[in-house]
Amino acid sequence: MLRALLTSALCLTALPALARENFALLIGANQYQNLDERWWLKGPANDVQLVASYLTTQAPVPFDAGNVTLLSDGVPGATPPTLAAIRSAFADLTAKVQPGDFVYLHFSGHGTQAPALDPSTELDGLDELFLPIDIGTWSDQVGAVENALVDDEIGALIDGLRAKGANVWAVFDSCHSGTVTRSLDGADEEVRTRQLPPDALGIDPDAVAATRSLGDPRAAEAPFDASQGEGSFVAFFAAQTNEVTPEKNLPRGKPGRKPQGVFTWTLMEVLAEFPQATYGQIGQEVLRRYAVKNLARSTPLFEGDLDQVAFAGQGGTRVSQWQAEATANGLTIPAGTLHGLAEGAVLAVMATAADADADALGFVELTAVDTFTATGTPVERDGKVLPAELPKGVTLRKLDQALDFTLTVALPPPGSAPADAMLAVMDALAEASGPRLSFVAPDQDADLRLAVLPDSPRPEAIWVLPSTGLAQDLAATPSVSTTDKDGAELAATLADTLTTMARAQNLLKLAAAVGAGNLDVQVELLTRTPQDRTLRPLPFTPVPTLIPEDEVHVLARNNTDGPVDVNVLYIGADWSISHWFSGRLQPGDELKKGLFKISDNVLGQERMLVVVTPAKPQSPVEDLSYLAQDALDVTRSLGGTAFGDALAEAGFGETTRGAVALTDEGTADSGPAPAILQLDLRTVSVD
């Protein structure tokens, strides 16, 4: 979340590192000589010139004109974007970049899908294609489209840049769904869609449709998986599954307007206006303008480390904000307890998603909060009073990063040295823990109980027991030693231990409270072993037992008449939280994806949560990855540093010891309520 301190930090992190070079490769494909002229485009040439002008004159980091390569027909002095020219440009760029360099990639032109040359590498059995101008037709002999730039190759080209240590931002203003669609704006001849139906390339459209229905719709949104490399990676896509992206004469209503990709034009507008924003803020502002200005019906997709400041190649701070809707009770947002909100919290009202905190129009105080929604009413703060008339599409921004989950902790009885040491620093412990932890007397009901166990392997420690006060396995029970710490270290270490456990505990409490809901979304969990590669259902009851190398997959189908977002979280017995997946399912879409496999470091009772939430068109995909946290060290001896404690408080991390990701797998106001499906797992060793 942006704070006053972060505003200054943004100005620093946006500056280029010493000796860093910034490169750009801009590709615009317009006239496809081997295709009927009705499939030609006019906007990509204008797109790359617009982007080149922005990068060399207005970007927050300097792009030397000699480092900006244009591949586009119709641009004087530019090289036509044939497949060979694109490959050659990537090779030249890869040879030049050094660790820490920044690379901006822009693809404007047609996209489509074709049956995959190797179906096992694609979740949906389809290759996503970007079309160079020398694109050919489908060849039955080789099972591919001549001169197509296939998603796997795009990923490999980007991986080559990242392997050199370059930070990459790739923008795709093209379509990849390959569905036949009429013009988005009816008879407006100025509008063209950047999508080529498969049959225009001689591909059997029935084969594409049949294959797509079996797979992962996100494979159509993201044309490749560039998951390898040392440098960071962010990708912006102009359209999601079953959508097309248009080009129009822009700027609308202005003399001298010319064909431009709507996505490219809007992105450049936002970048020019907000040069210090994070990628996440930029994406949200693009979505807001799409909705408010009715620019297009598609919903762009944004992936990668979106908390980075754009062009900086460095990490930033998460900006948690949501587009608000005016209701009779106030401003309502699609976020609630799950997102760390609580009644009484004050949120800033922003005119745009990329404004700085200081530009807030005013503030609202949350008066009603449930798991997935919250409503706020105006409140005066910092001398600001919220205007009665607000611009369209205002955003409510969370000003405090801390999650407001609460957990009750029973204190140990006094009289022992460890207990007395802890009770002596209660004020510091309460301050470090924040409002999420409530401490009660030893005889009160509680979610967790602190205890001293004289007969245990660590009699000098404070043990953290479940609500029953009983521990089945002390080796897996968290404890914090007291004799090797001063008061400040003891308070900080205990607070970190308890808040880490609180996040996991409260996710489980939320899951139990929300339940399966009434969403008509079918979710099935599947498993398979190295010996038997056939996927079989994984029952919710009784608790299934998994052993190392067993895999878990998810199969979901959206039977509703609107989009839904799906997140998969895994809560380990070591209190870790892993985020395995987030994505959007359009009506009728199916998701088939391998999630994780059990590692050799099995732990015991673990839980997987599948969170399904209704989504509105042209809204950001719900991404709960911020809930991830590393495993808890159950024997906390030496206290951590202040910086380490700050990182722990942020809650970011993606590791669990009980499961590892399958990185090589290819598989209205009152509406239905969200759902959280919970699956208990028991992981055991084979010994």
Domains detected in the chain: 21-304 (3.40.50.1460), 321-398 (2.40.10), 407-511 (3.40.50), 515-683 (2.70.50)
What is the pLDDT, as a whole number, of residue 70? Answer: 97
Q: What per-residue string of b and e applies to 477-489 under the rule 16 or more CB within 10 Å gives b? A: bbbbbbeebeeeb
Q: What per-residue string of b and e applies to 407-430 under the rule 16 or more CB within 10 Å gives b? A: bbbbbbeeebebbebbbebeebbe
Q: Looking at the predicted structure, is the pLDDT value of residue 669 above 50? A: no
* Stretch 521-549: mean pLDDT: 84
pLDDT in tens, 115-168: 665 544 444 456 678 889 998 876 565 556 888 888 889 989 999 999 999 999
Give the confidence band of 217 by pLDDT, cuts at 50, 70, 90.
Answer: very low
What is the pLDDT, as a whole number, of residue 216? Answer: 36
Distances (CA, A) of 663 to 226, 493, 550, 583, 616: 11, 34, 14, 16, 30
Half-sphere exposure in the Cβ direction for 672 (13 Å, CA): 22
pLDDT in tens, 398-436: 986 554 457 799 999 999 999 999 999 999 999 988 777
Top-confidence range, 4-18, 168-182, 313-327: 313-327
Question: Angle 83-96/151-163 helices, nearest 10 degrees?
Answer: 20
What is the pLDDT, as a whole number, of residue 224? Answer: 45
What is the pLDDT, as a whole number, of residue 75? Answer: 94
Other CB atoms within 10 Å distance of the CB of residue 362: 18
Q: Which of 2, 14, 1 has the alpha carbon at shortest distance from 356?
A: 2
What is the pLDDT, as a whole number, of residue 375? Answer: 96
- Dihedral angle, C-alpha 162, 48, 27, 33, nearest 10 °: 170
Q: Looking at the predicted structure, is the pLDDT value of residue 10 above 70? A: no
Q: For the ranges 4-13, 27-36, 334-343, 410-419, which has the lowest average pLDDT?
A: 4-13
* Stretch 627-644: mean pLDDT: 64
What is the pLDDT, as a whole number, of residue 205? Answer: 61
Give the confidence band of 687 by pLDDT, cuts at 50, 70, 90.
Answer: low
State both tokens at 167: 């930070």
The beta strand positions in 468-598, using DSSP E, are: 479-481, 521-528, 536-537, 545-546, 551-558, 564-571, 577-585, 590-598
* Stretch 626-649: mean pLDDT: 58
pLDDT in tens, 158-195: 999 999 999 999 999 987 543 333 233 333 446 677 66
Average pLDDT across the chain, whole number: 80
- Share above pLDDT 70 across residues of the chain, in percent, rounded to a whole number: 79
What is the pLDDT, as a whole number, of residue 394? Answer: 95
CA 94 to chain centre: 27
Q: Which of 267, 40, 233 has the alpha carbon at shortest distance from 154?
A: 233
What is the pLDDT, as a whole number, of residue 641? Answer: 36
Distances (CA, A) of 50 to 45, 102, 140, 239: 9, 19, 39, 20
Higher pLDDT, 665 or 616: 616
Cα 370 to Cα 342: distance, rounded to the nearest angstrom: 8
Largest CA distance in the chain: 88
What is the pLDDT, as a whole number, of residue 182? Answer: 27
Give the confidence band of 242 by pLDDT, cuts at 50, 70, 90.
Answer: low
Residue type for position 605 = Q
Cα 640 to Cα 636: distance, rounded to the nearest angstrom: 9
* Stretch 211-222: mean pLDDT: 37
Give the confidence band of 655 by pLDDT, cuts at 50, 70, 90.
Answer: very low
Cα 326 to Cα 334: distance, rounded to the nearest angstrom: 12
What is the pLDDT, as a whole number, of residue 125? Answer: 53
